[in-house]
Structure 1
């Protein structure tokens, strides 16, 4: 068992290893010495182009998206005091997916490359706004509102697939919904990054309030916590960061659920102390999952969202069984 003192070092090592594996792994094998040498050779050269235009954007996006999902999952679990909470629970991820699918449905993605992520971000913000307006009554009301909004967004996705103008559009929408970091470039990273960073700031501002909420809503209010502000910051931060990440990567599940639970045994259960480790471990999980999609020997690359669901579902069942044993 790794002690709490060694946990930061282990996290840093895993993150560095994940980044190096992501930069060094691909369909085209390049010797690490060749990749390192390309940094000092005249540019452009083939190894440098592969590294800078294909693998670096993919790696940066994996870190940003993974950290976003882990951070948002930890914040929502603290806000809702629900160990099963994650970004999809409040409709943010389905909203981003619907916005992106609308761009594909109407052919906007073909005429404007950034239409898919931009509409994805807009969809996430719209879904979060609906959840916030409908869930003003309290934690339970917000969860129920999130479930309703998620159902509405899922219905919109089904309609888009049902009325796809042609088989190619339906195929493109389906492939996008499976989630992937393949073929992402710097323009998509630069589009998503400002929204992700803004979302991180909003979520970080909730840290003190989340600690107070562990005592209950009434007690938190007696300590001067503005619950409306806390809910707004948490939902806005989730919408901005997760919406931007989902709009670029597609739907990637379970990272936001897994990361907080994996770090709590080492950092404790105080919500403010869980936020940063969850973000770091979310990035680590997504980096290693993305590397796995590239090295699994299949004719076609396994989609990232499929792999995270295959790995995350058994953990989810284990978590439910554990909660059932702990319940009175």
Structure 2
């Protein structure tokens, strides 16, 4: 079964192709520190057999958080708590990545005023952001760099840059939210410049043998916004700076999306074929059969189970048992399968 085959990218080898995608737990205190809940939450999925665990969106600045209860990595004091999570996941066989993020106009943190490429609000429930100045853009680029350095110090195997779901990097990429007239706005090349500079600076501190990838929204569900063809252009523009793409959609506008199991897989497939890059497929994947079909037909390289892993931490063990894949039952649990 391909779902349980190993997958190697740079120096990271996964025991299977099951991914826990980043999902905000909103369980940190205002200091952004990881706590016992986070440790239990992630370690239990490692015990449960997940190949790759991507730790939730972690703010690079206090105002870069989605909420005041998000994890943060804007200071060294936040490293030890994350390192405990990494060490525990490694102990039980999972590799770990960290998703670092700036929430942009969708930040609801009370630590400051939200910022964005342009002063356009997400909805009437959100504050109108301040348009970023060039010096402020440089500060945020450096904050991504510093967070990447701290993620390496915490021992993460890989790094995911969040450029999806309507957060800051996505806001720069989309013509719907980027109305700038300087070198960061207008043409697609200009709108991609911020992401490119973030990736360039991250690579100055992130080890060359560890993978870096981006999470993208490959559709804004709007005729004027990003679609799969535009996202292919964006990815090809930064292709030399990334090792994989985690393909999602939406989040830029408060627009209803017709979601169903595997609904984002065609977007992942298009990017995989046209950018010649490994992809993580995600989107209401609920059973191993869906994932296996995506892998067997080469529409994805890895498959992410979000809500399913919230419901069933031992999903991977159960799938392995169902299909006769050996080596997934922890010794402590063997009596349950006698």
Quick check: which one's strand share is greater? 2
TM-score scaled to structure 1, two decimals? Answer: 0.28
Q: Which has the higher contact order (CA 8 A, sep 6+)?
A: 1
